[in-house]
Amino acid sequence: MADIIHGATGAQGSPVLSALTSAGRTAVAAVRHPEAVPAGVVARQVDLASADSLAAAYEGADGVFVHLPPQGAHRRRP
């Protein structure tokens, strides 16, 4: 089983990813660009607009870390 971390390469998700892996937990990086994930970390490419993509990423997960920006402040990068 694993914990899914959204935005695992960003300012919020990367410290969570580091803390989980340092504690010996299995963490999976749910990201748009899997090539940006540190070596040795499992990455799953996800599309936040696709329920099927999210369901596949969450398969077998113990927990999911999701952080949301303040309303109106979200600007999605390509």
pLDDT of residue 52: 95
Outline where DSSP puts E strands in the chain.
2-6, 27-31, 42-45, 61-65
Question: What's the predicted TM-score (pTM) here?
Answer: 0.77
Q: What angle do CA 22, 27, 31 make, to 5 degrees?
A: 125
Cβ atoms 67, 6 nearer than 8 A:
yes
Cβ proximity of 17 and 78 under 8 Å? no
pLDDT along the chain (78 residues), means of 10: 89 91 92 89 91 91 83 59
On the CB side of 64, CA atoms within 13 Å amount to 15
